[in-house]
Amino acid sequence: MKIRHFFYCCSLLLFSCSSTVEKAEEGNKLFTLLKSDITGIDFNNKIKDDKNKNIFAYANFYGGAGIGVGDFNNDGLEDIFFAGNMVPDKLYMNNGNLTFTDNTENAGIKNFEGWSTGVTIADINNDGFLDIYISRELYDEKPEWRRNLLYLNKGDGTFEEKAENFKIANTERTRHATFLDYNKDGLLDLFLLTQPPNPGSLSQYHNSDNLLIPEYALKLYKNEGDTFTDVSEIAGISKTGFPNAVSASDLNNDGWTDLYIANDFYAPDFLFINNQDGTFTGIEKSALKQTSYYSMGVDVADINNDQNLDVFVLDMVSEDNFRLKSNMSGMNIGSFWKVVEDGGGFQYMYNTLQLNNGNETFSNIAQFTGMAATDWSWSNLIADFDNDGLKDTYVTNGLLRDIRNTDADKNVTNYINTTRANWLQKNPNAQNIESIWDVVDLEKAINMVPSQPLKNYAYKNKGDLAFENSSNEWGLDEESFSNGSAYADLDNDGDLDLIVNNINNEAFIYKNNSESLPDKNFLRITLKDEANKPTFGARVNLYTSKGIQTLESTNVRGIYSTSEPALHFGLNSLTHIDSLTILWPNGNNTIKKDIKANQFLEISSKDLKAVNSITEESKKYLFADVTSSFPAKFKHQENKFDDFEKQVLLPHKLSQFGPALTTGDINKDGLDDFYIGGAANQAPALFVQQKNGSFIESQSNFWSKEAAYEDIDALFVDINNDGFKDLYVVSGGNEYPKNDFHYTDRIYLNEGNGTFKKGAILNASRISGSVVKSADYDGDGDMDIFVGGRHTPQQYPNPPSSMLLINENGQLSNNTEKISPHLIDLGMVTDAIWTDYDKDNDLDLIVVGEWMPITIFENNNGNLSKIETENFKSSYGWWFSIEQGDFDNDGDMDYIAGNLGLNYKYKTSTDKPFDVYYNDFDANGNSDIVLGYYNNEKHYPLRGFSCSSEQVPALKKKIVKYDAFASMELKEVYGEEKLKNSLHYYTDTFASVYIENKGSGQFKITNLPNLAQLSNLNDMLINDFNGDGALDVLGIGNLYVSEIETPRNDAGTGILLLGNGKGLFTAKRGSEIGFYAAKDSKKITTVINGKNNYVLVGNNDDDLQFFKME
């Protein structure tokens, strides 16, 4: 083991008098951009369209190129290799003190004809010297120009091109490559990202027998020692997509390297899990609930220090309203669902940050972190740039021309077609035009497409999954067309510098100034295995008083690029590391203890004694999924209905909020039974528990006759006071016009033996409902019922009526107007709870809903009066649920309210509300939905011009260009007067909250922990689940029915909030506790079966789940 401590001290001394550092300190920026006259790096990836090579001919023409970082001469300094598209590749050797020398020619790097894109650095022959592999693509004319290059390091400062010798001189349009030891034989194998020539249908890359043509498939080459062998088909990775980037990392913690491939266009991202036998299995369908659509760069790292590697993938959508609406014409509904039906999964034009759930599944949390929209992005890096112990992100950005600008696309198309037609008219005898650019002015066509350099992005990790855009504060705000990027400690001062390859601009070299800031300690580790064997795949865990950090040895990151191989740990103010553990590629484990900070450690596997295993605490789960073995089965099956045909601009469907689910002892045998509702045209089911623990499905023929209704909620309640539980079922959905009989709620009377007959028809209840709650609120000895109205069918967001049904001698009568008129047209109710909030010994009612505030109805001698509560004035949200419990043990009821969550595209606040307007904006007799949001302090329509004008066709006459619509505020598009006279709702918050009852009508509202904000909270159970005497909260969520331009809310995996008895909660994801409820979960309840307690989860359009409480 070596410690390069002296070099670190010297480099600090050398830089202490540097003018660039002085400037950095003056400006207090984390990074300083160094010009080429300081660094000697003047590489410029210059690109110019010409008649043979241009953006109209090649979709990847503006894709840029990458970077490779490595210490090629083993002098302890990281050198840099730049790939050039239309310019020669360049090699710059590091002289120290952030100065470099162009050594391209002397090193034997040749100027081969072709288009270089990706750079991969690795020691492929285990001789102790790093080699360079160049991925090349684009050219159709000559395959030779697409031949990949391998520069073998001769160890004397020179390289020799040897790709043919090693049989890896591919000509199949390779974007990038990565080396990995997939079979653990101590030799680095090669994985290639090969792209088809154009983004047409993938079916065209199969032969007449529908077999994949190998030329267009991904490639895996096994290293045989002195040559490579194509094992793609044998290994199971021979698939076709449009790959842009790859990460080779252990994503399931089994010690073997897996592959994540980011695919452009409609091809889904691929996730190949290593089977440990030389083969891989693609699990993207089960592991990834949603992916980016135009996936660009990818990086993998542990963003939350939970020892699971997370995946960050880039797309190309802007956070700026004008660029968003002018450059994206909107997603095609038919195409979207065709991709889903063909197995491509749910793909959205947003970045994805896939949080590893630790069970070979991932949850996209990009919207929560604020990193979902970074414009036309290319390369992403995850690393601790400010040395605070948390991994940050860096994103390169910019396209030379906005080729997706809708107006420009129309203008260029019209110009080309018109010019061509005019030329043919003047030359009627002309033969076919050899090149359109012989007739059309290419430069004029190109200049019709806007060109706007953009700032790159940097996000500081604040901990607890929170990130902050720090681009400007960190000095990374230069506008550019940036593509490949890499990080490395170029000056050996203990922090990570940045290198960026730009189009038509010199490369960026950003010096990191962390060494000049307080509390920025670090530890850097270089791993060495015996006989120069590769250490790719080795994993290091660092243990400190602040927790555990995890890094994996891999170097291909972002897009087209290779970062330094060293492992860099930021330590903030820590000066001491308790220990570190290393899991080597060969499976050996080693431990090193008691380490000082601010060191460069070179650790060899032979220097530390191997131990058999590193003991970790065994996981104790509170729940176990027993769905497959539980003696009852039911699958909710949704009927097909397209809500958006009725209302184009609906934010989400309203026809898929089932199933209903309720439990109770219906036959007084002391055993729990349960009822689960069906979707429209699906029979519900009543499961009756037997003494032997089994369940029988009771009265199947009877319930089959009730299949016409969409069951949304249900409740066992004794309505007729005979001592047996009857059943009230709420009907809902959106398939039929308002007042249709399908929206009639039903009462089923218990005949005394657990069988049911249909009770009186509740004609007054023809509303599309959401919730039923019972209580003897008037104290007369029988159960009264509140029924919440969810929405007015096909007239969103028109408020429906809710009902208070008074029980009079076993008969329910709707006395809402008399007892509580504010319940009529209250809003789009989703949940309610009877509770004595004011401790006056009668039951009050709290109601929540969509576009509603948390609303209290106080019981005043049997009348429910809506009261204005100061604490709830700014509580308008999209609420889904509310539950109660004395969470702080002070003797009164506190509440948990489940909202949309903070991981959704829609953002809101009291001063910048997300809102909706409902009016007949074009006077055609039909009311229209208009959703509004704030962007850069201005109020805009949420939706783009295509779908907005589909809802309101008159807009096409008023607004001609997409650019014009993109510039217009909401009032300019629809008119102030029309908006003023519209039905208008708004929101203040989308956070799920804890409501502490302070007494005297006062409440304190606190956001639930961040893990509880990753999806909406649809339903909850309150109980002491871990047996510590304090109430906990078990929640479920997700919203799968978003309109297709909004990524669906599907990151929820079940959530447990462990209470401490003082009103504070610690959040645990479902996968951490054995409660993986990750479907479109709507209802949760419990049953006792034998000696065990079980949690039931009702999922929309999926199986009913059962979890045993351990």
**Does pLDDT of 1002 surpass 50?**
yes
The long-range contacts involving 144-147, CB below 8 angstroms and separated by at least 24 positions, are: 144/113, 144/114, 144/171, 145/113, 145/114, 145/115, 146/114, 146/115, 146/170, 146/171, 146/172, 146/173, 146/174, 147/112, 147/114, 147/171
What gap in Å lies between CA 900 and CA 588, rounded to an integer? 46
Tell me the pLDDT tens digit for each residue of 757-812. Answer: 999 877 667 999 999 999 999 999 999 999 999 999 999 999 999 999 999 999 99
Tell me the pLDDT tens digit for each residue of 686-735. Answer: 999 999 999 999 999 999 999 999 999 999 999 999 999 999 999 999 99
Helix (H, G, I), strand (E, B) or coil at 970: helix
CA atoms within 13 A on the CB side of 154: 11
- Whether the CB-CB separation of 535 and 487 falls below 8 Å is answered with no
Cis amide prior to 797 (ω within 30 degrees):
yes
CA distances from 91 to 76, 162, 611, 745, 929 (A): 17, 17, 42, 75, 58
- pLDDT at residue 503, rounded to an integer: 99
- pLDDT at residue 936, rounded to an integer: 94
**Does pLDDT of 3 surpass 70?**
no
pLDDT band at 1029 (very low <50, low <70, confident <90, very high): very high
- Whether the CB-CB separation of 853 and 875 falls below 8 Å is answered with yes
CA atoms within 13 A on the CB side of 619: 11
Side by side, the strands of the sheet bearing 258-263 are: 243-249, 258-263, 270-274, 280-282
Helix (H, G, I), strand (E, B) or coil at 530: helix
CA 690 to chain CA centroid, Å, is: 44
What fold, for 623-908+987-1109? Methylamine Dehydrogenase; Chain H (2.130.10)
Asked which of 203-212, 387-396, 537-546, 700-709 is least confident by mean pLDDT, the reply is: 203-212
DSSP 301-344: E-SSSSS--EEEE-----SSHHHHHHH-----HHHHHHHHHTT-
**Does pLDDT of 215 surpass 80?**
no
- Whether the CB-CB separation of 997 and 892 falls below 8 Å is answered with yes
Domain 2-405+449-516 classification at class level? mainly beta
- pLDDT at residue 533, rounded to an integer: 85
Tell me the pLDDT tens digit for each residue of 561-577. Answer: 999 999 999 999 999 99
- pLDDT at residue 7, rounded to an integer: 36
Rg (CA), the chain: 32
**Nearest to residue 1052, comparing CAs of 308, 371, 362, 310?**
362
Structure tokens at 580: 């570190």
Helix (H, G, I), strand (E, B) or coil at 1073: helix
What gap in Å lies between CA 534 and CA 301, rounded to an integer? 20
Q: Which residues contact 70 (CB under 8 A, 6 or more apart)?
A: 78, 79, 81, 121, 130, 132, 562, 564, 565
Tell me the pLDDT tens digit for each residue of 14-24. Answer: 333 344 443 43
CA atoms within 13 A on the CB side of 482: 29
- Residue tagged 């994503």 (tokens): 251
Q: Which residues contact 166 (CB under 8 A, 6 or more apart)?
A: 124, 150, 226, 227, 228
Identify any residues that bridge with 364 across adjacent strands, giving them in sequence order: 354
**Does pLDDT of 206 surpass 80?**
no
Higher pLDDT, 4 or 247: 247
Identify any residues that bridge with 543 across adjacent strands, giving them in sequence order: 548, 579
- Whether the CB-CB separation of 885 and 836 falls below 8 Å is answered with no
What gap in Å lies between CA 564 and CA 117, rounded to an integer? 18
- Whether the CB-CB separation of 1032 and 1022 falls below 8 Å is answered with yes
Pairing of strands 346-348, 290-292: parallel
* Burial of 852 from C-beta contacts in 10 A (0-12 / 13-18 / 19+): buried
- Residue tagged 């893990």 (tokens): 1011
How is the chain split into domains, by residue range?
Answer: 2-405+449-516, 410-448, 623-908+987-1109, 915-985
Structure tokens at 321: 């309203």
H helix or E strand, kind and range, residue 646: helix 643-646
H helix or E strand, kind and range, residue 10: helix 5-15
CA distances from 816 to 149, 151, 745, 833, 973 (A): 79, 82, 16, 17, 40
What value does the mean pLDDT of the chain take?
94
Residues 403, 319, 317, 325: is their CA dihedral positive or negative? Answer: negative
DSSP 569-634: EEEET--EEEEEEEE-TTS-EEEEEEEESSEEEEEETTTS-EES----PPP--SEEE-TTTSS---
**Does pLDDT of 208 surpass 90?**
no
Q: Which residues contact 678 (CB under 8 A, 6 or more apart)?
A: 636, 637, 658, 659, 684, 685, 707, 710, 711
Side by side, the strands of the sheet bearing 159-161 are: 116-122, 131-136, 149-153, 159-161
- pLDDT at residue 613, rounded to an integer: 60
**Does pLDDT of 337 surpass 70?**
yes
The long-range contacts involving 2-5, CB below 8 angstroms and separated by at least 24 positions, are: 2/601, 2/602, 3/599, 3/600, 3/601, 3/602, 4/76, 4/492, 4/599, 4/600, 4/602, 5/598, 5/599, 5/600
DSSP 785-813: EEEEEEE-TTSTT-----EEEEEETTEEE
**Nearest to residue 663, comparing CAs of 203, 1086, 1015?**
1086
**Does pLDDT of 28 surpass 60?**
yes
- pLDDT at residue 10, rounded to an integer: 37
- Residue 215 has φ and ψ, to the nearest 5°, of -55, -30
**Does pLDDT of 351 surpass 90?**
yes
Tell me the pLDDT tens digit for each residue of 99-156. Answer: 999 999 999 999 999 999 999 999 999 999 999 999 999 877 789 999 999 999 999 9
CA 481 to chain CA centroid, Å, is: 25
* Burial of 14 from C-beta contacts in 10 A (0-12 / 13-18 / 19+): middle
What gap in Å lies between CA 356 and CA 1026, rounded to an integer? 24
As a whole-number percent, the residues of the chain with pLDDT over 90 amount to 89
- pLDDT at residue 880, rounded to an integer: 99
- pLDDT at residue 347, rounded to an integer: 97
pLDDT band at 4 (very low <50, low <70, confident <90, very high): very low
- Residue 429 has φ and ψ, to the nearest 5°, of -95, 5
pLDDT (average), residues 1018-1035: 98
- pLDDT at residue 107, rounded to an integer: 98
- pLDDT at residue 207, rounded to an integer: 61
- pLDDT at residue 608, rounded to an integer: 74
Structure tokens at 132: 């360079």
Identify any residues that bridge with 1083 across adjacent strands, giving them in sequence order: 1098
**Nearest to residue 849, comparing CAs of 873, 877, 868?**
877
Task: Give the type of residue at 404.
Answer: R
What gap in Å lies between CA 151 and CA 842, rounded to an integer? 82
**Does pLDDT of 1074 surpass 80?**
yes
**Does pLDDT of 1 surpass 70?**
no
Asked which of 325-329, 486-490, 678-682, 906-910 is least confident by mean pLDDT, the reply is: 325-329
The whole model's pTM is what? Answer: 0.96
Same-fold call for 2-405+449-516 versus 623-908+987-1109: yes
Structure tokens at 374: 């970074």
- pLDDT at residue 203, rounded to an integer: 66
